[in-house]
Amino acid sequence: MPERTDPPGLSNGVLLRLAFRNVRKSARRSILTASAMTLGLALLILSRTLADGAHESWIDQGVRLGAGHVAVQGEGYQTSKSLDDLLSAADLDGAVEALGSPQFESRVSAYAPRLTAPGLASSTGSSVPVLLTGVDPAVEVEFSPLDDLLAEGRYLEPDDRLAAYVGEGLVRRLGLRIGSRFVVTAADADGQIQGQLLRVRGVFRTGVPDLDQSLVHLPLSTAQDWLGTRGGVTSLAILMWSSRTAAAARRELRDLLPSRGVEVLTWTETAPELEAAVKIDDLGDWVFHGITLAIVALAILNAVLMSVLHRRREFGVLRALGLTANETGRVVIAEGVMLSVISGLLGIALGLGVVFGFWSDGLDMSFLMDQELEISGSLIDPVMVPAFRIAQIGWSLLFILFIGISASLYPARQAARIDVAEAMKFER
Amino acid sequence: MTSGRIWGRIARRNVRRNRRRTAITVGALALGFVASTVMIGLSEGIVAQMIENGTDLLTGQIRVHGPGYEPERSLYSTLGGRAGVDLDQMLAAIGGVAGIEAVTPRVYAGGLVSSGEETAAGILMGVDPELESSVSRILSALEQGRLPRRREREVILGQVLADRLRAEEGSEIVLVAPAADGSMGNDVFRVVGVFRTGAAELDAAYVLLHIEVLQALVALDRGRVHELAASVDDVWSSTEVVDLLPAAISSLDVEVAAEPWTRFRPDLAEYAQLAASFNWIIVLIVFVMAVFGVANTMLMATWERRREFAVVRALGAPVTGIVRTVVSETMVLGVVAIALGVAVAAPIVFWWSQAPPDLSWIVGDFTMAGALVEANLRVEPSVKGPLLSATGLLITVFLAGLYPAVRSARQRPADTLAGAE
């Protein structure tokens, strides 16, 4: 070696060079160990990007059918679900005006006023409880997924008056056709029972029996007249481009709107069961990855430990040349870190390569299910579109580094504790 | 001693030679076994819970209707048409079918429920309280009050519906429902109880009455019911039990349409299948990770012993013998790992199946495929999980042993003994 190491410490350059040589010297072992880590990390990246994408889609579908990422409602409506707690026409206008300000422009994708009431849909032979929603057809085309699930007829149009857009299940239960009339009954804002005649304009099919039987869309103005809400609605549902901006948007809206009579909520409050489903799926994912990577960690531990036990003599020589126990240990840890970094980068490249090389348009899981699946009121899209997040990649890299370092600690201690004389006594 | 036993003995010795290495390898394999067993158990726990909540809660596992009842569910489409059936004979005949645990009659009607100024739409369901409890759990979900009695105008309501109506135990409510004679049935009833199942559509819409009281309200005779719901001993045998029904009721001369839950809740059956295919993926991933670790260890172990193998070969041992000893060495590791894995997994599975740890402090309940899933770690004990995991593990160690085995068998004894790598 041309330059001389300073007696008090081993320079980092030399330390890394020693470690690198060791990794290279036993190439086959290094490759096997690195493959396990690379594969483990690639798998982590793969499943995280797909899961993040899928969860965003669950949330998106759920809030489109439900109350939006952010909902502006009358105070108390969330618990009472009663028309006594309406969002008044004035408050609705205020909220719409606030949403028009430039701060929301880049984040809000659409907003829709809705008037929702539970009621009964009846034909001559049968009655079925339904959830009646008065909607503004022009904005709902952007917002609700229902208009895309058209099976027959057409979605509501702005000029419609006594029209209804209903699910396939309801049509079957009530024996309806396009153009047939049926009666919906519900309690109005004054608590009086009011009937309303509607004509079926279009039929949708979500594939989820509950939704196909219970959701009914009718024009907002018709619903407001029928239920006597004097321009009031039950909620203004707001759709964001990303669910991550919901909390901030709620805070800002709260500041802009009157504090009395108006409540601003995020989807985690209006659909807690949806958040629970996302959380539990995430939790299961992390446990699964924790376990697979723990198995990888044991493989690394074994590999590094074996390489240490094989090189007792070499470590003996290093110690005899003046390396401290601490420095010998650091050489071993450096080996572990080097293996982790190399396989970490390879794993990220492999994971991202597979995800975005093959599935950037989505991984179609529909071959596994021929029924629609519903989770917490959200329709599950069988096509999983991956979502890329820098933070997620960073976490994965940290995770694998942590595993690499912690798996090298025990072997490093073994290397540091070598008895120099004992280690150099025998020729092996 | 036969040669097989010799190779086995050499293998066992080598496993013992480097205990630390063996311990780590066995540890990794056992961890894989425990992880995949418990994860499969959890996934089956969710499926079992979904089937229970999806069928036990209300529908039962088998439903018997008149042929035209679905999908309109019209008030008129009772079993046996307008004439109805002899209910007692019918219940006895179906209850006698092998595999059926209990059977109960039900009457349904859609109606409006009012209390004070509040009104809501509800599903009125007439049940026989004694029979109903052995088919579904809805009556045991009663949170306050008692069950409605025969001949009394009494109802129990779902919690959400009761809140919406601002009604409670003791309140008076009015039920309005279209009746079978073309009139509107309406009457005043007393709320004698409130139930809470956790399933939104039940708690928000169902009003339960005694079956005879509802029959009187909607003008149906005693023999006219919409549905017979049955529970079975084994949920997975529902389809076979349904096939036995026509023969059992043939003497009654009633035309019926009977369905198992896999037909009327196809989404649930679908999810159960989906979960089963994910179990394979779990096992595959866990053990693919383990293959590398074991292969690495075995590669090192055989490299250390290259001289030993060369000597054995030089003494005339066949190549297959070397392969055999290395592979049996990994198989020994595999068997030990399974034993350890079973010892660790069994208590976890037992504990989590008897008293599932509660997760409600992290997440709330959610619904999947229309069935409620509670936030806990319930494990469903089964032989399939451990069997699948053990098979995966043995295949893993076999494959992981094969490469080092072939490598060591391939080396040329003369070169190795001469000191070449």
Give the gap in angstroms from C-alpha B74 to the nearest C-alpha of chain A. Answer: 5
Of A32, A172, A185, the CB nearest to B296: A32
Give all strands (DSSP E) within A123-172, no chain letters. 127-135, 150-153, 163-167
Give the gap in angstroms from C-alpha A427 to the nearest C-alpha of chain B. Answer: 14
**Do residues A29 and A307 make contact, with C-beta atoms less than 8 angstroms apart?**
yes
**Do residues A331 and A18 make contact, with C-beta atoms less than 8 angstroms apart?**
yes
**Do residues A166 and A132 make contact, with C-beta atoms less than 8 angstroms apart?**
no
Which residue from A380, A299, A305, A426 is spatially nearest to A39, judged by alpha carbons?
A299
Which residue from B151, B117, B118, B123 is spatially nearest to B138, judged by alpha carbons?
B123
Same domain membership, residue B136 and residue B16 = no
Of A126, A193, A288, the CB nearest to B74: A126
Say if the Cβ atoms of B71 and A173 lie within 8 Å. Answer: yes
Same domain membership, residue B37 and residue B115 = no
Instruction: Give chain A's largest Cα–Cα span.
Output: 100
* Close Cβ partners of B256 (under 8 Å, ≥ 6 residues apart): B64, B65, B66, B67, B79, B245, B246, B249
Say if the Cβ atoms of A283 and B112 lie within 8 Å. Answer: no
Q: Which domain holds residue B188?
A: 61-264
Give the gap in angstroms from C-alpha A103 to the nearest C-alpha of chain B. Answer: 33
**Do residues A92 and A233 make contact, with C-beta atoms less than 8 angstroms apart?**
yes
Of B293, B296, B364, the CB nearest to A273: B364
Domain count, chain B: 2
Among A55, A84, A292, the strongest candidate for a mutation testing the B interface, having the largest count of B CBs within 10 A, is: A292
ipTM of the modeled complex = 0.73
DSSP string of A302-323, one letter each residue = HHHHHHHHHTHHHHHHHHHTT-
Same domain membership, residue B325 and residue B235 = no
Give the gap in angstroms from C-alpha A273 to the nearest C-alpha of chain B. Answer: 5
Residue B177 to residues B122, B185, B216, B255: CA-CA distances in angstroms? 10, 5, 11, 27
Give the number of beta-carbon pairs within 8 Å between A and B: 198
**Do residues B229 and B62 make contact, with C-beta atoms less than 8 angstroms apart?**
yes
Say if the Cβ atoms of B121 and A129 lie within 8 Å. Answer: yes
Whole-prediction pTM: 0.77
Residues of A whose CB is below 8 A from B119: 186-187, 191, 193
Residues of A whose CB is below 8 A from B44: none
Same domain membership, residue B309 and residue B371 = yes
Residues of B whose CB is below 8 A from A288: 39, 282, 285
Same domain membership, residue B213 and residue B258 = yes
Say if the Cβ atoms of B121 and A172 lie within 8 Å. Answer: no
**Residue B377 touches chain A, beta carbons under 8 Å:** no
CA distance B220 to B84: 9
Of B120, B293, B365, the CB nearest to A298: B293
DSSP code of residue B97: S
What is residue B218's predicted lDDT score, i.e. its pLDDT? Answer: 92
Residues of B whose CB is below 8 A from A374: 267, 367-370
Q: What are the helix and strand counts (H, E) for chain A? A: 16, 14
Same domain membership, residue B355 and residue B217 = no
- In one-letter notation, the amino acid at residue B312 is V
**Residue B186 touches chain A, beta carbons under 8 Å:** no
**Residue B35 touches chain A, beta carbons under 8 Å:** yes
What is residue A135's predicted lDDT score, i.e. its pLDDT? Answer: 94
Q: How far apart are the first and last CA of chain B?
A: 33
Among A28, A58, A182, A280, the strongest candidate for a mutation testing the B interface, having the largest count of B CBs within 10 A, is: A280
What is residue A428's predicted lDDT score, i.e. its pLDDT? Answer: 45
Give the gap in angstroms from C-alpha B70 to the nearest C-alpha of chain A. Answer: 8
Same domain membership, residue B213 and residue B74 = yes
What is residue A8's predicted lDDT score, i.e. its pLDDT? Answer: 52
Same domain membership, residue B31 and residue B92 = no
Give the gap in angstroms from C-alpha A217 to the nearest C-alpha of chain B. Answer: 17
CA distance A404 to A36: 12
CA distance B48 to B373: 10
Same domain membership, residue B219 and residue B187 = yes
Of B32, B72, B114, the CB nearest to A173: B72
What is residue B410's predicted lDDT score, i.e. its pLDDT? Answer: 80
CA distance B33 to A90: 63
**Do residues B106 and B209 make contact, with C-beta atoms less than 8 angstroms apart?**
no
Say if the Cβ atoms of A276 and B366 lie within 8 Å. Answer: yes
Residues of A whose CB is below 8 A from B285: 43, 288, 292
> Residue A337's CB: how many other CB atoms inside 10 A?
18
Owner of token pair 């396990």: A36
Same domain membership, residue B234 and residue B93 = yes
**Do residues A240 and A249 make contact, with C-beta atoms less than 8 angstroms apart?**
yes
**Do residues B154 and B190 make contact, with C-beta atoms less than 8 angstroms apart?**
yes
* Residue ranges of chain B with per-residue pLDDT less than 50: 1, 421
Of A187, A208, A284, the CB nearest to B118: A187
Owner of token pair 């949403």: A99
Nearest residue on chain A to B179, alpha-carbon basis: A125
Residues of B whose CB is below 8 A from A118: 120-121, 164, 204-205
Say if the Cβ atoms of A283 and B362 lie within 8 Å. Answer: yes
CA distance A265 to A242: 16
Say if the Cβ atoms of B288 and A39 lie within 8 Å. Answer: yes
DSSP string of B56-72, one letter each residue = ITTT-SEEEE-TT-TTT
Owner of token pair 């430039």: A102
Of B24, B72, B75, the CB nearest to A298: B24
Same domain membership, residue B80 and residue B51 = no
Residues of B whose CB is below 8 A from A82: 118, 164
* Residue ranges of chain A with per-residue pLDDT less than 70: 1-10, 368-372, 376-377, 426-428
> Of the residues B204, B239, B264, which one is the last residue of a structural domain?
B264
Q: B71-98 in b/e burial notation, b at 16+ Cβ within 10 A?
A: bbbbbbbbbbeeebbebeebbebbbebe
Of B24, B72, B367, the CB nearest to A126: B72
**Residue B119 touches chain A, beta carbons under 8 Å:** yes
> Of the residues B264, B294, B313, which one is the last residue of a structural domain?
B264
Residue B412 to residues A349, B300, B315, B373, B416: CA-CA distances in angstroms? 39, 18, 13, 61, 6
Same domain membership, residue B275 and residue B256 = no
Say if the Cβ atoms of B164 and A292 lie within 8 Å. Answer: no
> Of the residues B264, B296, B316, which one is the last residue of a structural domain?
B264
Structure tokens at A19: 């470690």
Of B119, B292, B297, the CB nearest to A193: B119
**Residue B357 touches chain A, beta carbons under 8 Å:** no
Give the gap in angstroms from C-alpha B32 to the nearest C-alpha of chain A. Answer: 7
